[in-house]
């Protein structure tokens, strides 16, 4: 992640002169009191990445309780792609504070203090990503963590700490993936992949194709902007008995066609298939009869293209708010789709890719053609299912209707199949060529 780091670079005497605060200790010197730096913890939520904690290195062991008012946290977010880079600046609310180890685990004593921050789908201040010019990217987030109340221990009283030296981030889930690059069909692709803990025997492969805002050359973006890290979660890995996960990244958009955007083709199709086939060849633990492909929006478009052109390769597909217009799908294409295992997901409030023009008529045609294993989950809208985020009317927070992929990552997509309610992921895990 690219960061601008402002080093403290000031002496204890300077802090004293500027603030008038005393830095006193019976055994600790002033220099020890101000030797502070910080790191951040990033978690991937339904709406994208969020900085949920900052961990302050005090440079001296402390113990006891730390209050939420002991430190203030100022954040400056900027995106260098923009003519006016500064996006916002403000105070991030501290919701919990405690003495911890370097990883942020609460401890009775230690040289670190962890500050948990307020975050949510409407709080942009804690987002280390920004969507602009058609893409999500990691942006510059500068933190200034200022001590507002003394920390009193048996050995010392710590005052005047200002931490601005950034020492790194832990990105939970993202850091479990391997990031690599490769050239296929003359095109350089970035990709992220995850291998199950136990690679003995044969395991399925889950392929996720990202949305239109996640193209580029940094494969951590499709993992983070749409929570694709969930496929490596304990819950989903258990459903599949351990699965390989492959998240390729297009340099631009999967929808970039031979004759123009979204024309029913993709300039990346051949290269993507080479990438997938090479990954399978390099990982003999993959069960070639259980390769599943899916993606959202732009990635749903590519899913439909691959299932059409490589009908014998994949065991199942899960196109989400897919972007291949029904008018581009011929009756011959429908005959190809009807013999495959497909589960569509979309929402009625999707104004980006209207289900009436995309998913719904295609699903109906496939079903009427005689498909024995095509399914559809059609949500009325897209809302928070955690119960943590609500609107002023106390209804669940409502997301953009295009974001039906959030239900997939949380295994909240279901349908009635043969008289039973079945989840998408349980259904998918049971499919085999």
Closest CA to 37 of 162, 138, 125: 162
How high is the pLDDT of residue 158?
A: 87
**Residue-range domain boundaries for the chain:** 12-170, 174-429
Whole-number Å distance between alpha carbons of 214 and 201 = 33
At residue 260 the predicted structure's pLDDT band, cuts being 50, 70 and 90, is very high
pLDDT, tens digit, for every residue of 307-357? Answer: 999 999 999 999 999 999 999 999 999 999 999 999 999 999 999 999 999
pLDDT in tens, 94-139: 999 999 999 999 999 999 999 999 999 999 999 999 999 999 999 9
14-18, 70-74, 414-418: which has the minimum mean pLDDT?
Answer: 14-18
Element (H, E) at 345: strand 342-347
Distance CA 158, CA 163 (A): 13
Asked if 25 and 155 count as a contact pair (C-beta separation under 8 A), the reply is: yes
The per-residue pLDDT for 19 is 32
What CA–CA distance (Å, rounded) separates 250 from 185?
Answer: 13
Q: Give the phi and the psi of residue 365 in degrees, each rounded to 5.
A: -65, -40
The residues near 322 (Cβ < 8 Å, ≥ 6 apart) are: 297, 300, 301, 303, 304, 344, 346, 353, 358, 359, 362
Protein fold of 174-429 = Rossmann fold (3.40.50)
Which residues share a beta bridge with 316?
292
Q: For the domain bounded by 12-170, which CATH number is listed? A: 2.60.40.2180
Predicted pLDDT at 53 = 98
Confidence of residue 427 (pLDDT cuts 50, 70, 90): very high
Question: Do residues 128 and 105 lie in contact, with contact meaning Cβ atoms separated by under 8 Å?
Answer: no
Task: Assess contact for 343 and 320: CB atoms under 8 A.
Answer: no
Which pLDDT does position 72 carry in this prediction? 98
pLDDT at 13 > cutoff 50: no
């Amino acid at each position: 992640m690219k960061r601008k780091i402002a080093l403290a670079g000031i002496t204890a005497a300077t802090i004293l002169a500027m603030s008038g605060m005393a830095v006193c200790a019976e055994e600790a010197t002033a220099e020890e009191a101000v030797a502070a730096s910080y790191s951040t913890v990033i978690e991937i939520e339904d709406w994208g990445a969020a900085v949920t904690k900052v961990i302050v290195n005090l440079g001296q062991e402390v113990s006891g309780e730390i209050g939420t008012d002991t430190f203030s946290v100022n954040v400056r977010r900027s995106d260098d792609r923009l003519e006016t880079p500064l996006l916002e600046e403000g105070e991030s609310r501290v919701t919990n504070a405690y003495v911890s180890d370097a990883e942020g685990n609460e401890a009775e004593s230690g040289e670190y203090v962890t500050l948990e921050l307020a975050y949510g789908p409407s709080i942009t201040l804690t987002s280390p990503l920004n969507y602009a010019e058609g893409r999500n990217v990691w942006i510059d987030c500068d933190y200034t963590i200022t001590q507002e109340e003394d920390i009193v221990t048996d050995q010392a009283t710590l005052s005047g700490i200002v931490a601005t030296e950034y020492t790194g981030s832990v990105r939970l889930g993202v850091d479990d993936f391997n990031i690599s690059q490769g050239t296929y069909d003359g095109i350089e692709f970035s990709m992220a992949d995850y291998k199950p803990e136990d690679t003995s025997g044969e395991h399925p492969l889950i392929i996720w194709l990202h949305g239109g805002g996640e193209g580029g050359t940094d494969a951590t973006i499709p993992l983070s902007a749409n929570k694709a890290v969930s496929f490596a979660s304990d819950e989903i890995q258990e459903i599949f008995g351990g699965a390989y996960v492959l998240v390729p990244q297009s340099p631009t958009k999967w929808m970039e066609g031979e004759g123009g955007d979204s024309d029913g083709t993709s300039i990346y199709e051949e290269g993507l298939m080479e990438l997938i086939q090479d990954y399978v060849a390099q990982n003999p633990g993959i069960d070639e009869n259980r390769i599943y492909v899916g993606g959202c929006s732009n990635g749903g478009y590519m899913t439909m293209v691959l299932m059409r052109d490589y009908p014998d390769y994949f065991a199942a597909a899960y196109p989400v708010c897919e972007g291949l217009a029904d008018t581009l799908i011929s009756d011959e294409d429908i005959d190809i789709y009807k013999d495959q295992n497909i589960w569509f997901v979309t929402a009625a409030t999707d104004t980006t890719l209207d289900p009436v023009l995309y998913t719904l008529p295609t699903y109906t045609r496939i079903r009427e053609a005689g498909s024995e294993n095509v399914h559809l989950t059609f949500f009325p809208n897209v809302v928070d299912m955690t119960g943590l985020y609500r609107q002023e009317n106390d209804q669940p927070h409502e997301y953009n209707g295009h974001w039906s992929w959030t239900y997939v990552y949380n295994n909240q997509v279901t349908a009635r199949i043969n008289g039973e309610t079945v989840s998408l992921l349980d259904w998918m895990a049971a499919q085999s060529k």
